Amino acid sequence: MSRSVHRSVDRPSRAGDERGSVTLFAIGCLALLLLVGSALGVVAAMVRAHRTAQAAADLAALAGAATIGGPGDPCAAAATVADRNGAALLACTVEGRDVRVRAQAPGPRWMGQVADLAAEARAGPS
């Protein structure tokens, strides 16, 4: 009788080589989603800050134009209205009966970056 010698070769199975690869893929996808979500949040905050700055500039210019010809300083009235609307008045000029203002609203602070947004407006008689 002949005996066959069976040698077992220790090779890792193919399924064993790929164990855990889905976990790494899932972590990568989650990290990408987190990054995209954060970026979209910053963009939304910048849009909101610009809208705030534009609204404050528009209202400040109207308030300044309303005080022309009456008692009070048009630029002081514009600064008060801009402040009440969440912005700072950067510039104010009175040209005849027109008032031009520039207002700045605080923007998002992300990863050490400052993004304050400014807007300009003009108001006067039609």
Rounded to whole angstroms, the Cα distance separating 114 from 107 reads: 7
Which amino acid is located at 108 in the chain?
P
Nearest partner of 66 among 8, 7, 4, 123, judged by Cα: 123
Rounded CA-CA distance 65/48 in Å is 26
Q: Which residue has the tokens 């899932």?
A: 26
Query: 7-21, 53-67, 96-110: which range is least confident on average?
Result: 7-21
**Closest to 79 (Cα-Cα) out of 95, 97, 67:** 67
Instruction: Tell me the average pLDDT across 42-65.
Output: 94
Report phi then psi at 10, rounded to 5: -85, 90
57, 74, 88, 122 from 95: Cα distances, Å = 16, 11, 21, 10
pTM of the full predicted structure?
A: 0.72
pLDDT (average), residues 58-71: 92
**What would the pLDDT profile of 6-49 be if each residue is shown by its tens digit?**
665 565 555 556 777 888 899 999 999 999 999 899 889 899 99
**pLDDT surpasses 70 at 80:** yes
pLDDT in the model for residue 19: 74
**Residue 37 has which token pair?**
């979500």
Q: Do residues 120 and 61 make contact, with C-beta atoms less than 8 angstroms apart?
A: no
Cβ–Cβ under 8 Å, residues 107 and 115: yes
Residue 88 in this model has a pLDDT that exceeds 90: yes
